[in-house]
Every structure is written in structure tokens, then in C-alpha cells.
Structure 1
Amino acid sequence: MTSADASLPRPRAPWWRETAILAATFVLCLSGGVAHADGTFGPPPAAAYVVAVLTCAVLPLRHRVPLAALAATTLCGMAVAPVDLLLTPLVVAPIAVAAYALAVRDERRAAVAIPLSAALLVSTTPLVETLSWQDVTRLGTVIAVPLVAGVLGWSVQNRRAYLGAVEERARRAEKSRESEARRRVAEERVRIARELHDLVAHQITLANAQAMVAAQMFDVRPEQTRTSLEDVIETTRNALDDLRATVGLLRQSGDAVAPAEPAPGLSRLPTLLESFSRAGLDVSMHQEGTARPLPPGVDLTAYRIIQEALTNVTKHAGSGSARVGLDWNRDRLTITVADDGNDAPPAPDRPPGFGLIGMRERAAAVGGQLSARRRPEGGFLVSTDLPLPAVRSTR
């Protein structure tokens, strides 16, 4: 135990426990006066009462100044032999109590003070007594009493320190679990927000573009207007289904249940491009390299990035065409989405969107990188590098 730990306030024992300890110690100390120096037994003399009262009166101080309490009880014990009392293990019971209290509170001082106290107890006995072998045995027992009490106090102190360390580790583990839970909740909220943004923004943008096409063709081509309105109905129905499914996941308790439909990937890219074509955006696609299956996370990320990039083209670009490129390399997939339009600045009363932020977060989540910049010849370019699993060589 360090000096800082020793200085910390400790809870006081209940009054009845303290009273019981003092009473038991007084009885033991007084019982030591039953054995007289001449080898006979009888009622304790008046000196035994004086020694018992003085040593026990010092014991309440052991909670605040244990070293001083041990010193005072040791001095009282040293006065036993000069007043013709026999120094026995019972007489030094108050010294054992003080030694225990010191060992519990200050291990370093106890390691020096308790052996010194035991040595001082028997130092005055040879000056007033002629020692026999029985006396040597008795004095050896007297020395052992405070030493054993110190060892017991040291054991209790170590056990308290161990239990305190266990409780502290438990508290830290609980805090770390709470922090981990909060971190996972925050990550899940960001993921759900990103999914909702991609789903709703994509579908609503398509519905808006299809409605604009229907409005433009209303007087000129009624049949095409009907087709555009049917596309609007289908798009909004899909948006409601996707929104309902996502909100359903949020309302579930316990572990999340996997959706009935698999997560979208590049296999659904033709359907995605067709939906933009129906909305009036002419999308062309070209691939380089050999396509191969992607991990689910990378596959979903690639799909969502293309979806969001084309949604931004539909919303902001003043062009009716876009180009999607897939470049399959050995260790990465490069995705490019480019248009030739001029991005209109956002309205003053409309806050900026989170499309580019969400795409960057998706790419970073799977170890990729995303860049978005204006092209010198006009338009906007979104370029993404996603890592691919290593290709195993076959013989």
C-alpha cells in the first residue's frame, strides 16, 4: 500500500463492534495478570488493572494514528516487568490489536515498527528477571503475538487491495462495454441513415424526373405520358416498399433479422441503369478487364456509389447523359461516373446534401478511396477505387 492509499479515509467500524473489541482486549490483558511472577496464580493485582486500562485506552487512536497507537501500547507493555507483572501473550493483546491496525493501513511502516515493538517488549525482562528455559519459551511466544497479528493485517490488506482491483477492473470493463455499445449504436445509426438516404433520394429523384418527362409530353405524346406516369407509380411504390422494410428493421427488438431480399450488387446494375433511362437520363457503360465475384460489402458499396452518383447527375447536372466505367484490375476495381453537364449551385434556402459524404464513407468502410471533381472539359467526375480479394493462381 502506498502512502497515498494510507492517507485515504476509511469507514469507521460500528460502535458496537468497537466496544466489543475494546472489551475483549481489556479482558485478555487483565487475564494475563492472573499468572504471577513467582509461578502462582491468583486475582490480578492493581498494577494489572492499571496496565490494562492504559493500553486499551490508547486503542481507539489506531484508526487515525496507528503508528502512534502501536508505540504507546508498546511502552505500556515494556512497563509490565518493572512493576512485578509477568509478561505473557495475554498481556500484549492490545499491542497485537495495534499491530494489526498498522499492518492493514501502512505495510511499509508495519514491516519495521512491528518487529521493533516485539523486540522492545522483551528487552526489559532480562533486567528484572532471571530467565529459565520456560521463560525463554514464554518470551518467544510474546514476540510471536504482534508478529502474527502483523501478518494477519498484511493478509487482510492484500485481500482488500485484490478485491478493490477486481472491482476497478469490473468498473472499467463495464465502462468499456458501454462505450463499445454507444460506438456500435452510432455506427448503426450512420449506416441506417446512409441506406435511407441512398434509397429514398434515388427513388424520389427518379420519380421527380419521370414526372417532369410526363409533364413535358402531356400535350404532345399522350401515350408516352401514360408510360411515364406508370413509371412514376412503380418508382414511388418501390420507394415505399424500401422505406417500409428499412423502418421495419429499426422497429425490431433484439438481433436484427436479415432482409428477405439479398442486398443489391453489380448484378442488378442493368436494372438500375434502365430505371435512369426511363427517367430521361441516357446512361452508357463500358468495362475493362475480367469481371469476377465481389465480397458482399464491396459489391453493395459499388452498387450504392454508382446509384448515388447517377442520382446526383439527374438532380444537379444540366446534361441528359452519363457514362459509367468499370475497370477490373488484379487488386482493385475502379469505378467512374462522368457527365458533360454543368452542375447548378444549390438553392440558397436548401442545405447541402450528404451524397458525396455518404459515398466517401462507404468507400472508406471497405478500404477504398473516392474522389469527386469537376472535369476541365465540363461536367463532373466521381472516381472510386475499391479493393479486390487476391486472385489465386491455378495450375
Structure 2
Amino acid sequence: MSTRWRNHIGDRPQAVDILTTGLLLVFTLGGVILTRAVAAKEPLELWPGVVLSVLACAALLRRRSHPLLVLLVTTGCVITEGFLGYLLTPLLMGPVLVAQYTVSLRPDRRTTWYSALAAAAGIALTGFVVTDADEWIISLVNPAAWVLMAASFGSYVRVRREYAVARAEHAAQERDEEARRRVIQERMRIARELHDVVAHHLALANAQAGTAAHLARTHPDQAISMIEKLPEVTASALRELKATVGLLRQDTDTDELAPAPGLEQLPRLVETCASAGLDVTVITEGRPQALTPGLDLTAYRIVQEALTNVTKHAATRSARVRLDYTPHYLTLTITNETGSRPTTATDSPGRGRGFGLLGMRERALSAGGTFHAGPRPQGGFEVACTLPLPGSEESTP
């Protein structure tokens, strides 16, 4: 059945009920005529069977609003026809079977089976009274079995409908949960990106300003040089922040957006750290390989955040970045050794821990890699992560 006809029928339930009831009346009257002509031992009056059949079929028009009352009326009509001598065939019992099927669609299972047993018992009792013992199978067992079969079929349809509704609700719930999960993941991704952009440049600017204030009296030339480089750091921060916010405000994907930063910008990052007084050494092992944009961004942000932490927390003026390429993995190692540096006004011994390590760990794990950060046995601090390269069949080393 096409969707158009299905919608057309669904919009006219009363017309559908009248049409189906009319067709059922035709079959029921056919059963009355067939019984009178073939199965009856004695000639039967036709009009009582016709009147009872019309009454039973007319009652079916109210089966949706009063299913139990309609079942009672149709069962009474069938029992009366049985006492009049009509053979209770499935054609003649059509109204009571439809009424029983309608009752079985109700969610009250106890009512369904009590009504089915009552209707089957009444019809069986009729067959027991009006027929001989050798005809009990046809006149007693067979009609009662048809009633129970209608009840069973209605219960099966009801269970299937309940199952379909439950599946639809479960699917809707899963869609809602998936949407919430995606929203949470997107919020975390945005938080990591903004944290890495803002925290890095602000930490460098803070370090430059603090060091310049410390050197202002003893080495004014160096202090002025640092202050002159400070606008470059803040301008770079504003550019990256503007690009990130602009990307978030896009309502559609576009290929005209500026590319995300990657390891190709590592030399510029080293220069920026140098302007803040941090000497960074980059060592590359193995043969560099092309990275996907997402993996390239992940590697860059991890190095950037690790160097930011060195600038903010480490008592040293130097750090070492090692890029180790293997056929399947890229290992990033950022270390700083123990050392001393001048204490500035920006240093705070009670400063709390931020989200840098957490963000780096989330980035590494989301790319299918591993992450480790902690103090080194020989002193200092080390951040190490391993990222799977494109085409690697394994996800962990």
C-alpha cells in the first residue's frame, strides 16, 4: 500500500469502519444462507439469522469506544443463532471474532483472556446443549477454538505494537543521548582549543612582562627589548583567538578557512618562546612523514601546551623538544631540566594547577595515542606522548 493511500485511509477512520463492517456483513449473511441451505436438519427461518447478523455487524461500529459491550452483544447474537439451529461456522461468527480481536488489542491482558474464555465458554455451552454428542467437535470445540484463536492473534498484534513503540522510544532516547554526548564532546574540544590558544600567549606575555619588570632597574636595555617584543605576542594571541572564534561562528563547512596550525609552525613557536626568555631546542629523529590535519594540530597543541607549562612552572630557561618518527608512530617528548631563574613578581607559590595536562591527555587519547607526564628521575619534568601515524594498522604501541 502506498504512503498516499495509507494517509488517505488514516484520515477517515469512520469511513473505513463502515466499509469493513459492510464487507463483514456480506460474509456473515453468506454464512447464514449457507447454513440454512446445507447444514440445517430442518428448514430454518431466514429472517432471524439476517436480523441477528445485521445487529451484530452494526454493533461493531462502536467496537473502538466500547469493545467489551460490543463483544457482549455479538456473542449474544451468535449464541442466539446457535439456539435457533444455525451451524456456528467462522463465516457466521465473523462479528464476534472481530469484536474479540478488538478487545485483545487493549493493554489489559487479564480482561482480554477473561472475555475470551467467557465468550468461548458461552458458545461451547450452546453447542453442548443444541447438538448431539457425535457433532460436538464441529458444534462445540470448533467455534470455541476460533474465539481463542482471535484472542491469541489480537494479543500477538498488541505485543508487536508495544514492542514497536518501545523500540521507537528507545531509539529516540539513544538519539537524544548521542546528541548530548556530541554536544559535550564539542564543548570539550572548544574548551581545549581556546585554552591552548589563550593560555600559551598569555603565559608568554606574563613571563615577558614579569622578567622585564625584574630587569628594569639592573638591565634596562634588556627590559625595554622584552617590552618591545610584547606586542608581537599579544597580536599573535589576538590573531589565533579571532581565527578560532571565527571558525566556531561558521554555520556551514567551508574550504576558505585558514588552515589549522601544525608542526610546520614549530620554528615560529620556538621564536615566540625565545622572546619570553625560554630557550627551546628541537631534535628530529627518523624520517618525517605527512600528518593528517587533525593529527598535525594535535601534535602542535601538545608541544605548545608543554612549552607553556615550562614557561609558567619550571625553574629553568631551557627546554628540549624531540620528534621521533617511526614507520607507525610519532613520539613527542618535551623535557626540561632542573635549573634556576630569577624570581619575578608574576611567580606565585600558591598558584593552582590548570587544565594543561588534562587537555594534552585528552588530545592524545582522542587521536588513538598514549600520554605520560611526570617528574624525571634525574630532575626536571617530562611530557611524552605517542601518536599513531596515518596508515598504521595498530592503534597503540
Task: Report TM bin, short chain.
Answer: 0.5 to 0.7
- 1:276-291 to structure 2, matched below 5 A, reads 276-291=273-288
CA RMSD of aligned residues (A): 4.9
Matched residues in 1 for 2:245 and 2:238: separation?
Answer: 10
1:248 equivalent in structure 2: 246
Matched residues in 2 for 1:382 and 1:321: separation?
Answer: 15
Picking from 118, 122, 127, the partner of 1:122 is: 127
Picking from 164, 188, 191, the partner of 2:189 is: 191
SS of the equivalent of 2:206 reads helix
Picking from 309, 312, 331, the partner of 1:312 is: 309
Change (3 A) 1:198 1:246: same
1:363 equivalent in structure 2: 364
Change (3 A) 1:62 1:329: closer
Matched residues in 1 for 2:302 and 2:218: separation?
Answer: 36
**How far did residue 222 of structure 1 move?**
5.6
Which amino acid is the alignment partner of residue 363 of structure 2? Answer: R
2:355 equivalent in structure 1: 354
Picking from 260, 273, 286, the partner of 2:270 is: 273
Structure 1 unaligned residues grouped into runs of 5+: 1-16
1:79-115 deviation digits (Å, cap 9, x = unpaired): 964xxx4336699788556644565566888998877
1:328 equivalent in structure 2: 325
Is the Cα–Cα contact under 8 Å of residues 121 and 143 in structure 1 kept in the other structure?
no
SS of the equivalent of 1:303 reads helix
Which amino acid is the alignment partner of residue 163 of structure 1? Answer: R
1:5-27 deviation digits (Å, cap 9, x = unpaired): xxxxxxxxxxxx9xxx9xxx9xx
Q: Does 1:166 align with 2:164?
A: yes
Shifted more, 159-168 versus 229-238: the winner is: 159-168
Matched residues in 2 for 1:291 and 1:209: separation?
Answer: 32
SS of the equivalent of 2:296 reads helix
Structure 2 unaligned residues grouped into runs of 5+: 1-16
Matched residues in 1 for 2:93 and 2:326: separation?
Answer: 88
- 1:1-395 to structure 2, matched below 5 A, reads 39=43, 41=45, 63=68, 77=79, 81=83, 85-87=84-86, 96=97, 99-100=100-101, 104=105, 120-127=125-132, 154-218=152-216, 224-253=222-251, 255=252, 257=254, 260-341=257-338, 347-348=349-350, 350-390=351-391
Change (3 A) 1:280 1:79: closer
1:13 equivalent in structure 2: none
Is the Cα–Cα contact under 8 Å of residues 128 and 139 in structure 2 kept in the other structure?
no
Is the Cα–Cα contact under 8 Å of residues 124 and 139 in structure 2 kept in the other structure?
no
**How far did residue 194 of structure 1 move?**
0.6
Is the Cα–Cα contact under 8 Å of residues 284 and 322 in structure 2 kept in the other structure?
yes
SS of the equivalent of 1:361 reads helix
Matched residues in 2 for 1:215 and 1:122: separation?
Answer: 110
**How far did residue 247 of structure 1 move?**
2.6
Matched residues in 1 for 2:215 and 2:390: separation?
Answer: 48
1:10 equivalent in structure 2: none
Shifted more, 87-96 versus 320-329: the winner is: 87-96
Is the Cα–Cα contact under 8 Å of residues 110 and 150 in structure 1 kept in the other structure?
no
Is the Cα–Cα contact under 8 Å of residues 205 and 315 in structure 1 kept in the other structure?
yes
Change (3 A) 1:391 1:92: closer
Matched residues in 2 for 1:292 and 1:80: separation?
Answer: 90
1:16-44 deviation digits (Å, cap 9, x = unpaired): x9xxx9xxx9xx99xx9xx9996364987
Matched residues in 1 for 2:104 and 2:285: separation?
Answer: 79
Matched residues in 1 for 2:96 and 2:285: separation?
Answer: 91
SS of the equivalent of 1:287 reads strand
Which amino acid is the alignment partner of residue 338 of structure 1? Answer: T
Query: What TM-score comes out, normalization by structure 1 length?
Result: 0.68
